[in-house]
Amino acid sequence: MPTAPEPPAPDPAPVLRARDLHKAYGAHRVLRGADLSVAPGQLVAVVGENGAGKSTLLKALAGTLALDRGEVSLSGTLGYCPQEPVLSGSLTVGQHLDYFAAAHRLPDLDRGRELVRVLGYERYERSPAGELSGGTRQKLNLTLALLHEPEVLLLDEPYQGFDWETYLRFWDLVADLRARGKAVVVITHLVFEQDRYDLLADLADGRLTARTAGREHRHADA
């Protein structure tokens, strides 16, 4: 008898899920029931105009903002790269790596040195962060978010200030993360290369709606 085909493998469980997120500042309702589901190895862009609530959503996903209602669940570790680098101007690049490695209890700085090399700013290792250009500060910001090999990476306008070479290196890095099953969420006001993403989620009126080229909109947790 012919062998019956094996059933398709079930979809992997989400590593990040947001359900019915609500957040208001006084009378201004920013999030009005936003939903998002991200699977391992998935690259997602959350796209919205200025003032749409992208930073509020990112902080909610990162767990740094108290919500009025809703739930965010995370499986594994989180890397968070806000738009404005949270760096100490008096500490060098190398000192930042040392302190963050100690905070994450990492046995060595191998991953940090690799990221510095991949992003191409080795010559600044002894430079204080306060003396770095905006683009190099962003490279350090990204390095620190990735230092502990998080399962989920949240990025707010991550390539702002990057030159073209660094921009391409960034996408090579993202491709490597996806190949190793890491989930990446990019918050941005504009997507230049839509085909790079698995999912585009538009943030408008406090809700997320997913879109794929050539297909109709659907809810972002579909």
β-sheet bridge partners, residue 34:
21
CB neighbourhood size of 90 (10 A):
10
Residue 9 has a pLDDT of 53
Strand boundaries in the chain, DSSP class E: 16-25, 28-38, 43-47, 69-74, 78-81, 152-156, 183-188, 199-204, 207-211, 218-219
54 in Cβ contact with 191 (< 8 Å): no
Query: Which CATH number is correct for 12-76+152-166+182-212, 3.40.50.300, 3.10.450.30, 3.30.1600.10, 1.10.3720.10?
Result: 3.40.50.300
For residue 153, what pLDDT is reported?
A: 97
Mean pLDDT of 203-208: 94
- Tabulate helix, strand, coil % of the chain (nearest 5): 30, 30, 40
Given a cut of 50, whether residue 168 has pLDDT beyond it is yes
What count of Cα atoms within 13 Å lies in the side-chain half-sphere of residue 71? Answer: 4
Q: Which of 74-88, 150-164, 200-214 has the lowest mean pLDDT?
A: 200-214
Through-space distance between the first and last CA atoms of the chain, rounded to whole angstroms: 38
**Confidence band (pLDDT; 50, 70, 90) for 191?**
confident
Residue 1 pLDDT exceeds 80: no
Task: Identify the pLDDT of residue 6.
Answer: 60
d(C-alpha 62, C-alpha 221), whole Å = 18
Burial of 176 (0-12, 13-18, 19+ CB in 10 A): exposed
What pLDDT digit, counting tens, does each position of 69-126 carry?
A: 999 999 999 999 988 778 999 999 999 999 999 999 999 999 999 999 999 999 999 9
For range 11-28, the mean pLDDT: 92
pTM confidence score: 0.86
Residue 47 pairs in a beta bridge with 188, 202
At 222 the pLDDT is 44
Q: Is the dihedral of CA 49, 52, 57, 58 positive or negative?
A: positive
Task: Give the C-alpha separation, 39 to 152, whole Å.
Answer: 9
pLDDT score recorded for residue 95: 97
CB 153 within 8 A of CB 185: yes
pLDDT digits (tens, 9 = 90+) for 24-38: 999 999 999 999 999
Q: What is the mean pLDDT of the chain?
A: 89
- Domain residue ranges of the chain, discontinuous segments joined by +: 12-76+152-166+182-212
pLDDT at position 218 is: 41
pLDDT value at position 182? 97
Share of the chain above pLDDT 90, in %: 77
